[in-house]
Amino acid sequence: MFFKEQDETKKAELKRKLQEETLPRILKKIDDILKKNGNGVLVGNDITYADLYVAHFLSMLPEAMEVKDKLDEYQNVVALITKVFNLPGIKEWIAERPVTQW
């Protein structure tokens, strides 16, 4: 809703709520799941599509939502992103992919 909102006042409130309430709650939940699992992935013992999706989505947050320092508070989340982005094939693609807004 934040990205599509046309009214600047409503957009500012949606952004504030997302940055201060929603994202911290979601990031804490994901961090807790990773901590509980104990092996750096969300489900099972190896990287799944869930890990790929979550890592990709969360890696876009700092720039898209202007929360550059927020992710650092969640060490397990940062470790997941690092783990996924250092996988063979993914690491090479990231180095060579075209630069886009998203």
83's enclosing H/E stretch is helix 75-85
Q: What percentage of residues in the chain have a pLDDT greater than 90?
A: 52
Q: How confident is the model at residue 31 (pLDDT cuts 50, 70, 90)?
A: very high
**Answer CATH for 8-96 from 3.40.50.300, 1.20.1740.10, 3.40.190.10, 1.20.1050.10:** 1.20.1050.10
Average pLDDT in the 57-85 region? Answer: 82
91's enclosing H/E stretch is helix 90-96
Average pLDDT in the 22-36 region? Answer: 94
pTM: 0.81
Res. 1: pLDDT tops 80: no
Domain boundaries, the chain: 8-96
